[in-house]
A and B are shown apart, each in its own frame.
Chain A
């Protein structure tokens, strides 16, 4: 059974750095073709893709947020960490992590429940 769960602060202040952790089970990030990514959704708005890290440590970022994002993995803990610097109220959103595979289905086939992050002073 594959599960993912996001954890991190629910409230951050403007200009602070957000650190979110995705803890997963049922698959390994050492397996060829496997990746874990982050997607966010501001309240009432659409999904926005943020970043993805693959089994081989290949990392991809949204160009519009590239300068603020860092994604890393700890395969021994089955965790993926996303950091986002210089947080702003517009970054208030539910943040999801999800598994994606390079081969079929090549989609985000398993998702965490999401964690709401509010940016406010």
Chain B
């Protein structure tokens, strides 16, 4: 299985801050990397696919980059509705695997 490691596990930030979350794969996954946002009690919401492509309807303040083993999710200017948990997932091979999540909290 491909292991996905996210960092940090949690962070505190203020509205308007630029936030970066990293995800590292245990082997090269090309650009088969997806990001999801999850709020308490809700299903994950797809944000980014193929490392850098925004899902339909997702705000342009979200961006993704990377290829191979190292990836980042950036929120350019944190908004109140962005406080949530974020997960990366590889879709390079089976089984699909997720990172352990990053919780973005209000400072």
Contacts and interface: CB of A to CB of B under 8 A. Distances in A.
B98 A47 contact: yes
B50 A106 contact: yes
B7 interface: no
A74 interface: no
B87 A108 contact: no
Contacts of A52: 94, 96
Contacts of A57: none
Contacts, number: 69
A46 B98 contact: yes
A24 B90 CA distance: 24
A109 B49 contact: yes
Nearest to B35: A107
B89 interface: yes
A37 B94 CA distance: 12
Consensus secondary structure, chain A interface: strand
B96 A37 contact: yes
Contact of B94 (A46, A60, A104): A60
Contacts of B89: 47, 49, 107-108
Contacts of A39: 98
B27 interface: no
A105 B95 contact: no
Interface string B26-53: 0000001010101000111110011001
A114 B87 CA distance: 17
Interface of A: 37, 39, 46-49, 52, 60-63, 96, 100, 104-114
Interface of B: 1, 32, 34, 36, 38, 42-46, 49-50, 53, 55, 87, 89, 91, 94-101
25 contacts: A46-B87, A47-B36, A47-B38, A47-B87, A47-B101, A48-B98, A60-B94, A61-B95, A100-B91, A104-B53, A105-B34, A105-B49, A105-B53, A106-B32, A106-B49, A106-B50, A107-B46, A107-B50, A107-B89, A108-B36, A109-B46, A109-B55, A111-B43, A111-B44, A113-B43
